[in-house]
Amino acid sequence: LTVTVTESGSIKARKSIDLKSEVEGRATIITIVPEGTIITTEDVCNGKILVELDSGDLKEQLTQRQIEFTSADASSTQAKEAYDIQVKQNESDISAAELKVKFALMDFQKYLGETLANHIIDAIKNVNDPNADIAALIDIDNLVKEANDLGGQGSQELNNWKDKIKMASANLANAKYKLEGTQELFDANYVAKIELDRDALERDSYEIQEKQALVSLNLYKLYEFPKQVQKLLSDYFESQRNLERTYAKARAQLAQAKAQLESAKARLDLQTDRLEKSKKQFAACNIKAPAPGFIVYGSSMESNMNRFRGTGLIAPGEQVFQRQTIITMPDTSSMMAEIAVHESSVDKIRPGQKANIVMDAFPDQTF
């Protein structure tokens, strides 16, 4: 007793190429090759266009995307140049600030002598009080003595004033001695009164010079020397603070330039992706032959779901949706039968069973 299940179905290619719309949203068909057209290998090599979709809006969008990309690319290039310039500027600023520290230290060491200058700097650094009064930390009287012993520009100036005092004192002693001789000669009526007055005036002049030199030395010790010491020392510490500010400013400016560069790169990447997407969308409006075969419209094999969604026939002027199959190119070298078995007969069949297939076009042949 043979139990059979007879159902109807359709013959279709085991393998086929589905050409779908890759345009987002809806697209209108401008041209399409007639159904049943045979596509040859030559057509594939020549890039034969099977479907042309309306690309007017996409072309305008592509132009806009190209403009935005060009602008973003220019901004990215400008940001990169600005970043490189900032790096070089930071190097120059830091180098200049470091030189100021070096020169300020050299000026201070030149004025007091290297040993004494370094000793004072170390002593003030150990205080650890940025608001400390430099004048209060320096013993000027002792500093004058040490500077005079250790050398330096300050020591030279002290010695210069001392030399002037010595010279004035020596000249004053000579003038006094000369005046005494002239006085004796005047008393003996050997010289005129004018010569005596001249020698007295010379003595008075050298006395004034000696007093001026002494006052100048005291003024230098009391005011000019400590003022110059404090100024040079303050310039040194200020140059160090300026160096720290330069470091901080350089870091802040470089961070800002880096943020602007990364922002410009992000905008460029975004515009690049948008441009590539627009190019792909524009290119998707022309569907070319991917392989030899013959043309079957997607509407001829439309499923119930597509009918429910209201997709119409495939024809010029009709609209298609994204991922909707427009054309199917079946490979007829290997066919298969697709049968819908009624649920009442499902329990009578098993995977692997053989089936006899009879087609309406060839009723006398059984496959």
- Report residue 222 CA to chain centroid gap: 55
pLDDT of residue 308: 42
pLDDT of residue 109: 85
* Rg (the chain; Cα; Å): 53
More confident residue, 111 or 72: 72
Are 101 and 243 in contact by the 8 Å Cβ rule? The answer is yes
Residue 112 CB burial class (10 angstroms; 0-12, 13-18, ≥19)? buried
pLDDT of residue 197: 84
Lowest mean pLDDT among 143-147, 212-216, 298-302, 355-359: 143-147
Tokens, residue 342: 């009624």
Q: How far apart are CA 367 and CA 233, in angstroms?
A: 109
Q: Which residues contact 292 (CB under 8 A, 6 or more apart)?
A: 39, 40, 41, 43, 44
Tokens, residue 29: 């068909």
Q: How far apart are CA 225 and CA 144, in angstroms?
A: 8
Q: How far apart are CA 311 and CA 316, in angstroms?
A: 14
DSSP 25: S
Q: How far apart are CA 120 and CA 284, in angstroms?
A: 80
Q: How far apart are CA 63 and CA 104, in angstroms?
A: 61
pLDDT tens digits along 7-24: 998 888 888 889 999 999
Are 27 and 320 in contact by the 8 Å Cβ rule? The answer is yes
Nearest to 263 by CA among 65, 83, 61, 62: 83
Render 98-124 in DSSP notation, one character per residue.
Answer: HHHHHHHHHHHHHHH-HHHHHHHHHHH
Tokens, residue 366: 């059984």
- Report residue 229 CA to chain centroid gap: 44
The pTM of the whole model exceeds 0.75: no
Q: Which residues contact 238 (CB under 8 A, 6 or more apart)?
A: 104
Q: How far apart are CA 61 and CA 58, in angstroms?
A: 5
Nearest to 249 by CA among 47, 93, 365, 81: 93
Per-residue pLDDT for 134 more than 60? no
Per-residue pLDDT for 200 more than 60? yes
Are 155 and 109 in contact by the 8 Å Cβ rule? The answer is no
DSSP 324: -
pLDDT of residue 32: 93
The band of 151, judged by pLDDT with boundaries at 50, 70 and 90, is low
